[in-house]
């Protein structure tokens, strides 16, 4: 355990180098957010007494604000590219011969990256949220708050597992970037990043709920807003935990096969 | 530099005038790009798929919105589809000619390759801006045009020759705006070498170009993104020209004037940056 805390420490120091970049990212990221919010305002302005699939305008705005927050906590920044580069350049050899688990090492680096990013992004995002505070309600109940924290933590794990598994494709293909981008596009729509997926036709949103993606953003945000309650909440959390477990097994399997293949190259 | 050039004139045969030299140079760069891209055919096709997915995503988003309403800020469903298509068209033409080149600038500085380019008897900005051509983006631009045509068909609007000409001209202005803004972002690399954020920042700014301009209320946000970083005008104005819904010809004139202003500003920043540039190895 101690060695991974060292990794965390080093990770924080390394990512602090990029603090200006992070600040730039977080600030520029507010421009499309503001654009989307203006777009939704215009949509609701054309709908007197507006309600879209149970979202009033204020709730729709909260949805996007919370997506921005959860995304800051959990998004994968450079981790997948770095894993792919480590494999391609042969950097993982040194981890295979040392008493350290490469995947655990990456996970702690991911956590340190998120910690630094969140701390830096808090400044511009915080100012933005302050101006939008009338739309950002407190979580509906104590249960919702606890469940929200738990589901964000699981979303972070799931996010890491998906990104890392995609990056491990570098064991088999020379250039993983297109795969990462295709995966990202799928995730962007199916996780509810672009819009809440329950405004889609019912059959389509039910279909998407069967994939792991909504558990990255849509589900945690729904929990906060009180749109998922009671029995659905328990079932949703169990589903999310199931996806994390499945993702872990998948990652370990792909890693084991990849390493076998990787070693075979040198041997 | 001037001395070297003077000597060059004496020993080499007289150079062709610039209007013959630059097109032939550009032709050579095209041949090089085509050869290089055709070496990685699978990758070439996969990138087209990625771009098509993002385009489909944006169209899907607007379709979902119009599943719940008929009208957004005075724009009907097919007018907005046309707007998204127009925005994609401009972005892809920009990508085809400039995106990789401009995002490579920080790499030229970091590796010191820029020193070598500065020594060549060609305008350095020309060389930096036109090095590579992204052929896949032409395919994507065609698909954007197809969506625009499809939207016009559904609107039952057949634009006249003047509307088409204005559309083409204003799309050109849009490309110039994108090129100039991104070029300025990339020029920041002269001060802080590591600026991978430039491309990312650019994509974020571009996001608001496909929103109907009527959705932006009067205020500082609208003013900044109309007059300083004219993202709101970039695809809205050409779309309105094609639809025949432009409120006054001044909108088109504004976009053209802003495109020239952005280009001039980027040239000024580039010259300032080059003057204080002291090479990567120094």
**H or E, element range at B132:** none
**Cβ contact (<8 Å) for B65 and A201?**
no
Locus of tokens 């989307």: A36
Distance of CA B90 to the CA centre of its chain: 7
Residue in B103, B171, B111 with CA at minimum distance from that of residue B141: B171
CB A109 within 8 A of CB A7: yes
Which positions in chain A touch B50 (Cβ < 8 Å)?
178, 181-182, 185
Q: How far is B248 from chain A (nearest CA, A)?
A: 23
Distance CA B80, CA B86 (A): 10
Surface of B (178-217) touching A: CB under 8 A? 192, 194-197, 200-201, 204-205, 207-208, 211-212, 214-217
Helix or strand or coil: residue A79?
A: helix
Does B4 have pLDDT greater than 60? no
Residue B1 belongs to a domain = no
Distance CA A253, CA A256 (A): 5
Residue to test with chain B: of A35, A124, A179, A190, most B Cβ within 10 A: A35
Q: How many domains are contained in chain B? A: 1
> Angle, to 10 degrees, between the axis of helix B77-94 and the axis of helix B161-187?
50
Distance CA A113, CA A135 (A): 29
pLDDT at A11: 85
Cα first-last separation, chain A: 32
Structure tokens at B154: 């559904």
User: Number of A:B CB contacts under 8 A?
Assistant: 91
**Cβ contact (<8 Å) for B204 and A175?**
no
Phi-psi group of A54: left, alpha or beta (phi > 0 → left; psi -120 to 50 → alpha; rest → beta): left
For A23, the closest chain B residue by CA position comes to: B197
Which positions in chain A touch B208 (Cβ < 8 Å)?
31-32, 34-35
Cα first-last separation, chain B: 19
For B45, the closest chain A residue by CA position comes to: A178
pLDDT band at B35; cut points 50, 70, 90: confident
Which positions in chain A touch B47 (Cβ < 8 Å)?
178
Q: How many domains are contained in chain A? A: 1
Residue B28 belongs to a domain = no
pLDDT at B1: 39
| pLDDT tens, residue by residue, B9-31 | 444 556 788 888 888 889 998 89
Q: How far is A55 from chain B (nearest CA, A)?
A: 12
Mean pLDDT for chain B overall: 87
Structure tokens at A44: 């609701």
Q: Using CB atoms within 10 A of its CB, is residue B197 exposed (0-12), middle (13-18) or buried (19+)?
A: buried
pLDDT at B3: 43
pLDDT at A267: 42
pLDDT at B216: 94
| pLDDT tens, residue by residue, B87-98 | 999 999 999 999
Does B180 have pLDDT greater than 60? yes
pLDDT at B7: 46
Q: Which domain holds residue B127?
A: 52-275
Residue in B232, B56, B233 with CA at minimum distance from that of residue A32: B232
Does B79 have pLDDT greater than 50? yes
Residue to test with chain B: of A31, A48, A188, most B Cβ within 10 A: A31
pLDDT band at B172; cut points 50, 70, 90: very high
Q: How far is A86 from chain B (nearest CA, A)?
A: 19
Mean pLDDT of B160-184: 95
- Helices (H), ranges, A93-229: 93-96, 102-131, 142-167, 177-190, 202-209, 218-224
Residue B222 belongs to a domain = yes
Does residue B221 belong to the interface with chain A, where contact is any CB pair within 8 Å?
Answer: yes
pLDDT at A159: 96
Q: Please provide residue A250's backbone torsions phi and psi, each rounded to the nearest 5 degrees.
A: -60, -45
Q: How far is B196 from chain A (nearest CA, A)?
A: 8
Residue in B55, B200, B210, B246 with CA at minimum distance from that of residue A38: B210
Q: Which domain holds residue A52?
A: 2-266
Mean pLDDT of B256-268: 96
pLDDT at B197: 67
Mean per-residue pLDDT pooled into runs of 10, chain A (267 residues) = 83 81 85 94 85 90 94 89 89 85 92 91 90 84 92 97 95 87 91 94 92 96 91 94 97 93 65
Locus of tokens 């040194």: A94
**H or E, element range at A98:** none
Q: How far is A192 from chain B (nearest CA, A)?
A: 11
Nearest CB to A52 within list B60, B68, B208: B68
Distance CA B109, CA B189 (A): 8
Residue B234 belongs to a domain = yes
Residue B34 belongs to a domain = no
Distance CA B92, CA B270 (A): 24
Structure tokens at B78: 């097919």
pLDDT at B8: 45
> Angle, to 10 degrees, between the axis of helix A177-190 and the axis of helix A142-167?
160
pLDDT at A124: 92
Does B32 have pLDDT greater than 80? yes
Does B193 have pLDDT greater than 70? no
Distance CA B159, CA B152 (A): 8
Distance CA A175, CA B134 (A): 18
For A173, the closest chain B residue by CA position comes to: B43
Would you tell me how many other CB atoms lie within 10 Å of the CB of residue A234? 12
Cβ neighbours for B168, distance < 8 A, ≥ 6 positions apart: none
Mean pLDDT of B212-234: 93
pLDDT at B200: 75
pLDDT at A264: 61
Residue B239 belongs to a domain = yes
Residue to test with chain A: of B53, B184, B222, most A Cβ within 10 A: B53
pLDDT at A265: 58
Does B80 have pLDDT greater than 70? yes
Would you tell me how many other CB atoms lie within 10 Å of the CB of residue B161? 7
Residue in A137, A36, A233, A180 with CA at minimum distance from that of residue B215: A36
């Amino acid at each position: 355990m101690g060695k991974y805390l060292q990794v965390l420490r080093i990770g924080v120091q390394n990512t602090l180098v990029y603090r200006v970049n992070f600040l730039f990212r977080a600030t520029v990221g507010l421009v499309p957010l503001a654009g989307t919010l203006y777009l939704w305002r215009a949509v609701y302005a054309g709908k007197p007494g507006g309600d879209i699939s149970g979202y009033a305008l204020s709730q729709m705005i909260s949805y996007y604000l919370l997506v921005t927050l959860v995304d800051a906590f959990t998004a994968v920044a450079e981790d997948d590219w770095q894993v792919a580069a480590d494999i391609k350049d042969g950097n993982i050899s040194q981890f295979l011969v040392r008493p350290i688990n490469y995947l655990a090492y990456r996970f702690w680096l991911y956590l340190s990256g998120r910690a630094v990013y969140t701390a830096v992004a808090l400044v511009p995002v915080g100012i933005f949220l302050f101006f939008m505070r009338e739309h950002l309600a407190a979580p509906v109940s104590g249960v919702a708050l606890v469940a929200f924290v738990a589901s964000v933590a699981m979303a972070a794990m799931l996010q890491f597992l998906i990104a890392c598994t995609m990056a491990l494709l570098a064991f088999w293909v020379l250039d993983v970037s297109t795969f990462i981008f295709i995966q990202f596009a799928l995730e962007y729509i199916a996780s509810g990043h672009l819009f809440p997926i329950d405004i889609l036709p019912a059959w389509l949103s039910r279909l998407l709920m069967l994939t792991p993606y909504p558990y990255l953003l849509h589900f945690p945000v729904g929990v906060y807003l009180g749109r998922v309650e009671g029995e659905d909440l328990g079932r949703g959390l169990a589903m999310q935990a199931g996806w994390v477990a499945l993702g872990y097994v998948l990652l370990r399997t792909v890693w084991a096969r990849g390493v076998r293949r990787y070693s075979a190259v040198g041997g | 530099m001037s001395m070297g050039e003077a000597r060059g004139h004496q020993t080499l045969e007289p150079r062709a005038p610039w209007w013959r030299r630059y097109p032939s140079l550009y032709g050579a760069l095209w041949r090089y790009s085509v050869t290089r891209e055709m070496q990685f055919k699978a990758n070439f096709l996969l990138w087209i798929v990625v771009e098509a997915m993002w385009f489909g995503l944006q169209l899907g988003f607007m379709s979902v919105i119009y599943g719940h309403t008929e009208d957004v800020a005075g724009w009907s469903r097919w007018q907005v589809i046309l707007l998204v298509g127009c925005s994609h068209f401009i972005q892809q033409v920009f990508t085809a000619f400039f995106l990789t080149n401009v995002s490579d600038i920080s790499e030229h500085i970091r590796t010191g390759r820029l020193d070598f380019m500065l020594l060549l008897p060609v305008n350095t900005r020309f060389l930096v801006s036109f090095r590579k051509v992204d052929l896949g983006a032409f395919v994507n631009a065609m698909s954007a045009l197809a969506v625009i045509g499809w939207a016009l068909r559904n609107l039952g609007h057949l634009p006249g020759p003047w509307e088409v000409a204005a559309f083409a001209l204003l799309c050109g202005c849009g490309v110039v705006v994108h090129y100039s803004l991104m070029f300025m972002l990339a020029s920041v690399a002269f001060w802080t070498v590591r600026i991978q954020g430039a491309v990312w920042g650019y994509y974020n700014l571009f996001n608001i170009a496909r929103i109907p301009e009527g959705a932006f209320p009067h205020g500082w946000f609208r003013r900044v993104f109309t007059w300083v970083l004219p993202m709101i005008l970039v695809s809205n104005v050409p779309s309105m020209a094609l639809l025949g819904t432009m409120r006054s010809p001044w909108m088109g004139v504004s976009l053209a004037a802003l495109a020239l202003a952005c280009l001039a500003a980027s040239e000024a920043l580039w010259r300032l940056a080059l003057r204080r540039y002291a090479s990567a190895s120094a």
